[in-house]
Amino acid sequence: MFALIDGNNFYASCERIFQPELRGRPLVVLSNNDGCAIARSEEAKALGITMGHPIHKVEPRVRRQLAIRSANFGLYGDISSRIGAILRQAVPRVEVYSIDESFLDLAGIAQRKALATELHERVQRWTGIPNCVGIAPTKTLAKLANHVAKDAARKPGSYPADLARVCDLAELSPRQLDAVLRATEVGDVWGIGRRWAARLQSRGIATAADLRDAPSEDLLSEFGVVMARTQRELQGHSCLELAEVEPDRKQILVSRSFGEWIGDPQQMSEALATFAMRATEKLRAQGLTAGVVGIFAETDPFRLGMPQHNPSRTAQLTSATSDSRLVLGAVRRLGTSLMRAGYRYKKAGVFLADLARPDQLQDDLFAPARAGNDVLMETLDAINRRFGRNVAGLGASGWQRSACWHSRQESLSGRFTTRMADLPRARC
DNA sequence: TCTGGGGTCCTAGGACCC
DNA sequence: TCTGGGGTCCTAGGACCC
């Protein structure tokens, strides 16, 4: 038996913890570079702000009513880890699935609804994050149950009241479960995206119940094993296990849109160097090495009148490494002649691939399996952990705060829980 | 003026191996 | 006249997730 606990409007709710003036107001959190809405409070949803909506396309009349914040992932990540700690304290097996969702294994727990209700309240009380819990025999159904719990809480009357906030599908009679699945659009099922939803609908499969009851062989042959598995999960046969241990990353990507277009190779070089530094930091935090380094740049796809150019370069390293200096060297070599004269670029990124644990690397006849200075890198990371990110870096990277290619973040809130200077003050 | 930033898995087809 | 059967690896593209 699985439970899925999920923070409501997570980023918006995080912003409200330490900024009570945002409570009850239509609030929107923007993506990096202050581009699109990536979280909305209920009040903002009611104003018609949709997920991913470019904020500059919102009517000025509506926009004036909105409270806006730039994404503050440091804050959200910290709140998320606190919720993870609360959950792990209460149940033995937890899978942190994303920044705002965790699956719990409730197998063998007798009073599971009571436990789920207690956790629901505890997370709200201890972190300030409103949340919902869905319980069911499979992960896909637990996701669906979570959806029901949210809808039932948001629109009283749409579902029986005892499904609001904490919804246990396993408690329902077959007829009640059927009614829930018939009320769920097929596109709202976990694993069914926009494309598949359209293709399913054109075959007359419009609801979760339709998908559950569709002929399995047809689904398998027309959509493949992923769809077949989703159907099995809807039927109550668990195919997806709890993944307590996070598998190693296969790729690490650091990319950003720039606040301004960049035409100057020097600035591009600084931006790429900064992304390379961040990527190798992530690499070391995971305890991995990289065998392949890549870079890319993109012009502004929304400026159709401007000449477009989306170059990319990849290099295989002779020895795998997690040393920022070696990765940076590769990025600099790749970066020369990346840009075309006269073009202006809006976005760039660095990626690392062929990731491996150092002890899994194989020596090559002509080169050591691994290169770099671990002690130096550990020292660098330790300094930055202690004194703040980018306190120490390599001279070649443009890690100064003022660089013109930085993302726009005009409405950034404080790092209330991760930075001493930003600690909220209580007055009496 | 302004349009995010990460990831994963599956499949089909081609090249190649014995 | 006749032309196997079984694999692996890689890549590109398409789908999905938050």
Query: Which residues lie below 8 Å from residue A416, measured CB to CB, with a gap of 6+?
Result: A17, A18, A75, A422, A423, A424
- For A314 and B15, how far is CA from C1' in angstroms? 22
pLDDT at A399 over 70: no
Taking C1' of B2 and every protein CA, the nearest residue is A56
- For A335 and C7, how far is CA from C1' in angstroms? 40
- For A220 and B10, how far is CA from C1' in angstroms? 12
| Residues A290 and A382 both lie in one domain | yes
How many domains are there within chain A?
2
| Residues A212 and A326 both lie in one domain | no
Query: In 3-state terms, what secondary structure has residue A370?
Result: strand
Q: What is the dihedral of CA A52, A54, A57, A63, to 10 degrees?
A: 80
Looking up tokens 């990353």 gives A249
Give the pLDDT of residue A85. Answer: 97
- Answer for A151: CB within 7 Å of strand C: no
| Residues A343 and A381 both lie in one domain | yes
Give the pLDDT of residue A398. Answer: 57
What are the Cα distances from residue A42, in Å, to A76, A100, A175?
Answer: 18, 17, 31
Give the pLDDT of residue A426. Answer: 84
pLDDT at A394 over 90: no
Does A221 reside within a domain?
A: yes
| Residues A120 and A185 both lie in one domain | yes
- For A229 and B9, how far is CA from C1' in angstroms? 13
| Residues A317 and A355 both lie in one domain | yes
* DSSP single-letter state for residue A36: B
Give this prediction's pTM.
0.94
- pLDDT classification of A79: cutoffs 50, 70, 90: very high
| Residues A217 and A266 both lie in one domain | no
pLDDT at A153 over 90: yes
**pLDDT single digits (tens) A209-219:** 999 999 999 99
- pLDDT classification of A296: cutoffs 50, 70, 90: very high
Does A139 reside within a domain?
A: yes
Q: What is the mean pLDDT of chain A?
A: 93
pLDDT at A419 over 90: no
**pLDDT single digits (tens) A132-144:** 999 999 999 999 9
Please state at what angle helix A174-182 crosses helix A139-154, rounded to 10 degrees. Answer: 70
- pLDDT classification of A364: cutoffs 50, 70, 90: confident
Altogether, the residues listed in chain A come to a count of 428
Q: What is the mean pLDDT of residues A259-288?
A: 93
Does A262 reside within a domain?
A: yes
Taking C1' of B4 and every protein CA, the nearest residue is A31
pLDDT at A401 over 60: no
| Residues A179 and A267 both lie in one domain | no
Q: What is the mean pLDDT of residues A346-359?
A: 93
Distance CA A377, CA A394 (A): 11
Q: What is the mean pLDDT of residues A275-303?
A: 94
Does A11 reside within a domain?
A: no
Residue A327: CATH number of its domain: 3.30.1490.100
Three-state SS string over A88-128 comes to HHHCCCEEEEECCEEEEECCCCCCHHHHHHHHHHHHHHHHC
| Residues A230 and A258 both lie in one domain | no
Element (H, E) at A230: helix A225-234
pLDDT at A104 over 90: yes
Residue A166: CATH number of its domain: 1.10.150.20
Q: What is the mean pLDDT of residues A78-103?
A: 97
Does A330 reside within a domain?
A: yes
pLDDT at A223 over 90: yes
| Residues A297 and A219 both lie in one domain | no
* Domain end among A169, A201, A234: A234
Residue A422 burial by Cβ neighbours in a 10 Å radius (0-12, 13-18, 19+): middle
* Domain end among A183, A203, A234: A234
Chain mean position to CA A133? 19
Q: What is the mean pLDDT of residues A27-44?
A: 95
Does A77 reside within a domain?
A: no
What angle (nearest 5°) sits at the alpha carbon of residue A68, between those of residues A62 and A72? 155
- Name the residue among A327, A315, A312, A316 with its Cα closest to residue A279: A327
- Answer for A252: CB within 7 Å of strand B: yes
| Residues A200 and A276 both lie in one domain | no
| Residues A96 and A214 both lie in one domain | yes
- Name the residue among A253, A373, A388 with its Cα closest to residue A323: A373
- pLDDT classification of A400: cutoffs 50, 70, 90: low
The protein footprint on chain C, as nucleotides within 7 A of a CB, is 14-18
Give the pLDDT of residue A236. Answer: 97
| Residues A226 and A294 both lie in one domain | no
Query: Which residues lie below 8 Å from residue A128, measured CB to CB, with a gap of 6+?
Result: A13, A16, A17
Distance CA A351, CA A293 (A): 6
- For A380, the domain range is 252-397
Element (H, E) at A268: helix A265-285
- For A18 and B2, how far is CA from C1' in angstroms? 28
- For A354 and C9, how far is CA from C1' in angstroms? 15
Which two three-digit tokens encode residue A155? Answer: 């629109």
Taking C1' of B1 and every protein CA, the nearest residue is A56
- Name the residue among A181, A176, A80, A179 with its Cα closest to residue A140: A181
Please state at what angle helix A73-90 crosses helix A10-18, rounded to 10 degrees. Answer: 100
| Strand pairing report for A312-321 and A370-371 | parallel
Q: Could you tell me if A251 and A353 are in contact, meaning their C-beta atoms sit under 8 angstroms apart? A: yes
Does A354 reside within a domain?
A: yes
Q: What is the mean pLDDT of residues A277-301?
A: 94
- For A240 and C17, how far is CA from C1' in angstroms? 14
Q: What is the mean pLDDT of residues A73-89?
A: 96
Does A324 reside within a domain?
A: yes
Q: What is the mean pLDDT of residues A108-119?
A: 96
**pLDDT single digits (tens) A370-388:** 999 999 999 999 998 888 7
Residues 62-121 of A with CB under 7 A from strand C: 97-101
Looking up tokens 């396309």 gives A57
Name the nt closest to A32 by C-alpha to C1': B4
- Answer for A143: CB within 7 Å of strand C: yes
- For A193 and C15, how far is CA from C1' in angstroms? 8
